[in-house]
Amino acid sequence: MRDFYPPIEPINKGFLKVSDIHNLYWEECGNPQGQPVVFLHGGPGGGIGPDLRRFFDPKAYRIILFDQRGSGSSTPNAELKDNTTWDLIKDIETLREMFKIDTWVVFGGSWGSTLALAYAITHPDRVKGLILRGIFLCRPSEIKWFYQEGASQIFPDVWDEYLKPIPPNERHDMVTAYYKRLTDPSAEVRLTAAKAWSKWEAATSRLFVSPEAIDEFDDPEFALSFARIECHYFTNNAFFKTDNWLLENVDKIRHIPGVIVQGRYDVVCPARSAWDLHKAWPEAKFTFIADAGHAAAEPGTKSALIEATDAFRNL
């Protein structure tokens, strides 16, 4: 089993203005002459953290991480205006050009896998490899599973907490009901909804529930950006033209070396999506982790991801 590389600090960091209102926080870590890789975090709205640098050999990789619009240290926090999948893809290209990188490895998990696939489909000539985890294709069936009915069968106790901010007569469409509250004029209403939404995901993300993860998702600033931006994207079908846009366009990336890592007991992004991607893209290496849920830091998933980054060091 592989474990994280030792902790590292950025060799460079700063902010990049990408629109009239949005400024992205970014970090550059590792070897400035190494294999370029961009890390795409989950959510959307999740943000980056120090451990995410540690999936990569710092002697071999030039590691670029950033907080997507409205997330983490990017400003303004939790902002929904000018915040779409296509804006984020444009931001990735702006960062690539700023760092004078021709092609790079793209690493993404959960929503990060969605964005990585969308970016690669849009700019296949800029992607030399894809490492994906906890596959999320942002199809209506996936949203319905996690936010409306399916996952409640496995986590009924936590589901009841998720239901609390929504009156019974609105529970037939939880995403719409939450969006109404997450965009309410009242800061108290927004925060109550944001904490309940965020804690639902935190409590269901691992095979063994992590109290520390739940506490992290309970932080007001994190919860607001995470819940508001997620619900904004899900309400808008991730701004894709069709419900199955990623799989419909996967032929554009089948020539790119790829690795897909999926926890067998992932409740947040169930294995069906990863399997559908595997069938559409059989050239990519596919690995089920038998004793893992959704989180990247679970031992089997973490090990498989580090094996993948090691394998891609010299692409």
- Residues marked as catalytic: 110, 266, 294
pLDDT digits (tens, 9 = 90+) for 143-174: 999 999 999 999 999 999 999 999 999 999 99
For 264-290, the pLDDT digits (tens) are: 999 999 999 999 999 999 999 999 999
**Helix or strand run (H / E) with residue 213:** helix 211-217
Residue 91: both structure tokens together: 């931001």
pLDDT band at 11 (very low <50, low <70, confident <90, very high): very high
Average pLDDT over residues 106-120: 98
**Can you give the pLDDT at residue 212?**
84
Characterize 274-299 residue by residue with b for buried, 16 or more Cβ atoms within 10 angstroms of its Cβ, and e for exposed: bebbbebbeebebbbbeebbbbbbbe
Q: What is the pLDDT of residue 215?
A: 85
pLDDT-based confidence at 8, cuts 50/70/90?
very high
Q: Are 103 and 255 in contact (CB under 8 A)?
A: no
- pLDDT tens digits, 230-246: 999 999 999 999 999 99
pLDDT on residue 229: 98
pLDDT tens digits for 53-83?
999 999 999 999 999 999 999 999 999 999 9
Set out the domains of the chain in order of their start, with CATH numbers. 12-139+239-311 (3.40.50.1820), 141-238 (no CATH)
What does the pLDDT average to over 4-10?
A: 98
Looking at residue 209, its pLDDT comes to: 82
Which string of DSSP letters, residue by residue, matches 255-309? TS-EEEEEETT-SSS-HHHHHHHHHH-TTSEEEEETT--S-TTSHHHHHHHHHHH
pLDDT at position 263 over 90? yes
How large is the average pLDDT for residues 215-220?
Answer: 89
Average pLDDT estimate for 114-119: 98
Query: Can you tell me the mean pLDDT for 192-198?
Result: 97
